[in-house]
């Protein structure tokens, strides 16, 4: 199916409003598309918002809240006077200061070198994204305990983490988490981080990171600015890229 038909299929079967990330998950689980791209949730959000912004009341979709959408024809059957909120800009997908994150990635799933590849996926079937040049905040864990908090204000998240495999902390951490400031484009590349950030958003982002990292038992929700999509880690290849290239050259010469 096209994205548009797949989205309408999911919403039609649900019969109620859904968050765009949940719609993307349903499309994947039900195999409604053969290719999901690198950012399926953002693709869903962009398609729905474009339809609402371009077609207005004639759009197949209606927005009922932040990130929540339903099919107009279904909602109008229940409430003929239903009105959608004023369409928002597509950059709602950015989710505040924190654009994307990865929690408790395993150190032994990374091929550590001066510029390692930190690969992640939005869903198991979506295209992999390289977060090596991400900027933001990272945590080093000894199992479930945070032992170090660091920042990366240049596009070198992978290199900074690699440095910790050589310094005084090298034997003290086995997992890491990261909170990225650079948004993900539809083709899976990293865009520039927003330059103008509201102070309230910064405070909310700091709260969100602390809640997520410390898992405080009295906090029953994520912070207000942690609407970003969490990415799952893609393990390093069984054979390193360098060895794979060497093998390929040998086979070609055989």
pLDDT in tens, 140-194: 999 888 999 898 989 999 999 999 999 999 999 999 999 998 988 878 899 998 7
Q: Report CA-CA distances (Å) from 191 to 79, 120, 185, 186, 233.
A: 41, 16, 6, 10, 20
For 80, how many CA atoms within 13 A lie in the half-sphere containing its CB? 0
Q: Classify the phi-psi angles of 143: left when phi > 0, otherwise alpha if psi is within -120 to 50, otherwise beta.
A: left
The pTM (predicted TM-score) of the whole model is 0.70
Q: Classify the phi-psi angles of 7: left when phi > 0, otherwise alpha if psi is within -120 to 50, otherwise beta.
A: alpha
**Taken in order 207, 211, 214, 219, is the CA torsion positive or negative?**
positive
Question: How many other C-beta atoms are found inside a 10 Å radius of the C-beta of residue 198?
Answer: 12
Residues 6+ apart with CB under 8 A from 165: 107, 112
Tell me which residues of the chain have a pLDDT lower than 70: 77-96, 198-201, 203-204, 215-227, 238-248, 251-254
Q: Assess contact for 161 and 118: CB atoms under 8 A.
A: yes
């Amino acid at each position: 199916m096209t994205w548009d038909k797949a989205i309408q299929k999911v919403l039609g079967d649900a019969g109620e409003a859904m968050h765009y990330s949940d719609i993307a998950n349903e499309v994947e689980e039900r195999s409604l598309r053969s290719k999901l791209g690198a950012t399926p949730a953002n693709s869903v959000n962009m398609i729905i918002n474009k339809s609402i912004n371009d077609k207005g009341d004639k759009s197949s979709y209606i927005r009922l809240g932040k990130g929540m959408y339903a099919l107009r024809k279904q909602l109008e059957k229940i409430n003929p006077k239903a009105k959608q909120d004023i369409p928002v800009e597509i950059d709602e997908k950015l989710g505040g200061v924190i654009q994307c994150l990865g929690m408790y990635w395993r150190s032994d799933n990374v091929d550590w070198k001066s510029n390692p590849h930190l690969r992640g996926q939005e869903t198991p079937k979506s295209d992999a994204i390289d977060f090596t040049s991400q900027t933001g905040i990272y945590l080093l864990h000894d199992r479930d305990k945070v032992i170090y908090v660091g920042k990366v204000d240049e596009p070198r998240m992978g290199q900074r983490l690699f440095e910790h495999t050589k310094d005084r902390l090298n034997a003290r951490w086995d997992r890491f988490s990261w909170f990225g400031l650079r948004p993900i484009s539809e083709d899976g590349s990293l865009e520039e981080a927003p330059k103008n950030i509201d102070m309230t958003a910064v405070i909310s982002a700091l709260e969100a990171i602390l809640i997520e990292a410390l898992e405080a038992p009295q906090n029953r929700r994520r912070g207000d600015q942690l609407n970003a999509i969490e990415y799952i880690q893609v393990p390093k290849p069984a054979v390193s890229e360098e060895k794979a290239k060497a093998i390929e050259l040998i086979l070609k010469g055989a």
